[in-house]
Structure 1
Amino acid sequence: MQHNFKPVVKLAVMAAALICGNAMAQSSVTLYGMVDAYVGATKAGGADRAYGVNSGGMQTSYFGIKGTEDLGTGLKAIFDLNGFLRPDTGKQGRFDGDALFTRNAFVGLQSATLGTVKLGRNTTPYFISTILFNPLVDSYVFSPAIFHTYFSASNGRVYDPGIIGDSGWSNSLVYSTPIFGGLSANAIYSFGEQAGSVGKNKWGGNVLYFNGNFGATVAFQQVKFNSTPGDVTAPTALAGFDKQNAVQVGVSYDFKVVKLFAQGQYIKSDVNNATGDLKHTNGQVGASIPVGNGNVLVSYAYDKTKNSVADFKRNTAGLAYDYNLSKRTDVYAAYFYDKLSDQSHGDSFGVGMRHRF
């Protein structure tokens, strides 16, 4: 006797398809990234000029994998593993020795009504406020705001390490509120993970407000160490370092014909030695001007850094034209000028391309 199993098989295939489709709708995994490279030259103050093909002109290149799973009742599980890369050499990281996923490496929970919690290595709220309120965003080659915040500087008498602790913090916990009428807040705490001591830690946060054409932010962070931190490259200059407090405010307004930006920042590093505490004060103004299928980007920053025995002043400017070939691809030409008192100026220029995937 023969049995016709075709209807049963068809029903099983349809059920499996529905189950898989439902699972696919509830979870997703995305491979994404951005590649940026340029040809040009760089010259630090007091140094010779270097020509070549370099990476990360307008933005540091990165790649990653991220995903979500719908857990029901408005709750989602999220993760992100995201690392920097250098397309000019094919190497991972921003520099030799940089870890694989230093841009972000976290797992967490997200709720539309309760907010988001992330555990792992997280981008700091302070960095987010820095890049959102200057026209050259997070360019580590052409943005004055990035240089005055995240780069060290010295005139031979005063050493300024800039913000200590990187743009991302390992061993960190982040909480982000939902957005209420354009207002949101983020808080971060990074554990020192040092046995028998809780002194080595970092914490901070920001408040963001966006309403129509107007935007504003206030950000704060404190980095505390039991001894001179390893990411200070001149420990002799900062012997006796204890902690650093930083505060920043920023505003922007889009007039459509031009978008204006302004930032102010104060960084105080407590140093227990003969030179005393280090005080850094800077401001930045800038504009993004639509021209053709792109934008002219211009930014200027001024800084004064001092301790009890000496000081220096710093003037920095950046100018670029960023042209959109498509929604994912743009080309750019940029120039950067940097001058510390009592030093010859430094500058950089280049023409490059950026592609997002």
Structure 2
Amino acid sequence: MKKEVLALSLMAAAAAAHAQSSVTLYGRIDNGFQYENGTPGGHSYQAESGDWGCSWFGLQGAEDLGGGTKAVFQLEGQLNTFTGASEGNLFGRHATVGVTNDYAGLFKLGNLGAGELSQDSWGTDPQLMQRYAISTLVRGRNWASANNGAEYDSPVWGGLAFKGQYALTNNTSWNSAPVNAAGVPTGQGRTDAVEAIYTGGAGDFRVIYDEVRGADGTFNNVYSASRSILAGGTFVLGPVKFYGGYQHLSAPNATDASVGVTAASQPDGIAAPTTVDHEWVGVQWQINAAASVTGAVFHANANNGNGNATLYTLAATYNLSKRTFVYTEAGYVHNSSTSNINLGNGPYGNNNYDPATNTSSNGNPDYGHSQVGVFAGIMTSF
């Protein structure tokens, strides 16, 4: 019954969109298959929704308030389109309302969700935040999200634009998350971010600084609750687009306990990292109007004995129409002897694989081991 009510609500929203012409129902669907080796227990074949980019649906609209000012809103949720299940809250990606003006910019309030500014790093990523891309070697850090927030986007002045965000915890403690029944903070702490983007000539350049605090209000996990400074850009020369960038992560409060590991589960002399340096380069070749090929290399170094890893990627897309394309990407991650980063943004720590139950708490390979993966699929939007 609940599913029927939701379907009727979406149909009514679509009808309203057509009638008002100021509301749009939109979305995209990405389904494919992947193969990866080096995972705990061996290799895996999987049907995946979202290897190129996650599937979503949403509503957005605007109301003219006069004087060049509009009220705007956006509601967007993520789906697993192989199972039909919602990924997280119904409108977990975006749920905002605000006002916009061509001369004053945009101000909005609500669940910023996937609009957290670290996710704007896709603009410097040769692989556009596919599964094997800018987030892999930093274990998903660039997929940060933020709720209870406010954002301001400036107009573009001579090719230069700015963004700023601030998200509250809704807790009596300014930086830490709300507490559970036992009085323990749970979830994510306060977040904030700023970004500057310059576009001109044949390229663009952006700088993003963002902070994501842990549940206790500190920077206690370099891969999820840390400070990040990122700079990168692109340059177009004929049919070729060049990418390059650098990111530094810092979590001075990180300990083995705060990242959920023990000294006994780590290689000798290894402790939770408090800094990571990450750099990348890539090239996209637009073969013709329909086809493109992209190659990129990413490298990351973590301190406290955690070594380094290098990710090599090669991807291709082919447009079947303006709204639909097919894609494929291959990735190879090479870990040094004390690194165990996987291809799928897995958390920090030993994979603790149990052969008796064929289970592990994550998909990390053994320390010093590599992984190879490939996926292919189709994406359509509406």
**TM-score under structure 2 normalisation?**
0.74
State the structure with more CA Rg: 1
Contact 1:26 1:69 (8 Å CA) reproduced: no
Tell whether the 8 Å contact from 2:275 to 2:303 is kept in structure 1 after alignment: yes
Over 3 Å counting, the alpha-carbon distance change for 1:344 and 1:321 in structure 2 is: same
Q: Of residues 267, 278, 285 in structure 1, which corresponds to 2:249?
A: 267
Shift of 1:273: 4.9
Which of the pair is proportionally richer in strand?
1
Q: In the alignment, which residue of structure 1 is the partner of 2:95? A: 105
Residues 73, 311 of structure 1: alpha-carbon distance in 2 compared, 3 angstrom cutoff: same
Q: Structure 1 residues 198 and 55 mapped into 2: Cα distance closer, same or farther (>3 Å)? A: closer
Report the equivalent of 2:10: none
Shift of 1:27: 5.9
Asked if the contact 2:174–2:190 (Cα under 8 Å) also holds between the matched residues in 1, the reply is no
From 198, 201, 204, the equivalent of 1:212 is: 201
Cα displacement (A) at 1:286: 0.7
In structure 2, stretches of 5+ residues that fail to align are 1-16, 177-188, 257-270, 338-367
Asked if the contact 2:123/2:233 (under 8 Å) is kept, the reply is: no
Contact 2:175 2:213 in 1 (8 A): no
Q: In structure 1, which of residues 145, 148, 157 is the aligned counterpart of residue 137 of structure 2?
A: 148
- The match for 2:297 among 300, 309, 323 is 300
Give deviations 1:82-113, integer Å, cap 9, x for gaps: 111111111111xxxx2222221111111111
How far residue 243 of structure 1 moved from its aligned partner, in angstroms, is 6.2
Counterpart of 1:172 in structure 2 is 149
1:139-193 per-position Cα deviation (integer Å, ceiling 9, x unaligned): 1x222x1213453xxxxxxxxxx46xx5321111100000111110100101011
| Change beyond 3 A, Cα 1:313–1:39 | same
- Equivalent pair of 1:45/1:345 in contact (CA under 8 Å): no
Conserved 8 A contact 2:175-2:217: no
Question: 1:201-240 residue pairs with structure 2 within 5 A?
Answer: 201-225=190-214, 227=216
Alignment partner, residue 291 of structure 1: 287
Deviations 1:271-290 (A, max 9, x none): 26585861100101011101
Shift of 1:259: 0.2
Check if 1:81 corresponds to 2:58: no
Number of residue pairs matched by the alignment? 307
Identical residues among aligned pairs (%): 25
Q: Secondary structure at the match of 1:184?
A: strand
Q: Is the Cα–Cα contact under 8 Å of residues 56 and 77 in structure 2 kept in the other structure? A: yes
- Matched-pair contact (CA < 8 Å) for 1:246–1:266: yes
Q: 1:24 to 1:88 in 2, by over 3 A?
A: closer
Cα distance in 1, alignment partners of residues 381 and 215 from structure 2: 41
Match of 2:373 in 1: 348
Distance in 1 between residues matched to 2:254 and 2:69, nearest whole Å: 48
Moved more, 103-112 or 241-250: 241-250
User: Is the partner of 1:280 in helix, strand or coil?
Assistant: strand
Alpha-carbon distance change, 43 to 71 in structure 1, aligned in 2, over 3 angstroms:
farther
**Matched residue SS, 2:322:** coil
Provide TM-score, normalisation by structure 1.
0.79
- 8 Å contact from structure 1 (residues 27, 70) kept in 2: no
Structure 1's unaligned 5+ residue stretches are: 1-22, 152-161
Preserved CA contact (<8 Å) 1:38 1:351: yes
Which residue pairs with 2:352 in the alignment?
A: none
Q: CA RMSD in A?
A: 2.7
Which amino acid in the other structure matches residue 102 of structure 1?
A: G
Structure 2: distance between partners of 1:211 and 1:190: 31
CA distance in 1, matches of 2:83, 2:209: 36
Aligned partner of 1:350: which letter?
Answer: F
The correspondence for 1:327, drawn from 315, 322, 326, is 322
Choose which of 190, 194, 211 in structure 1 pairs with 2:171. Answer: 194
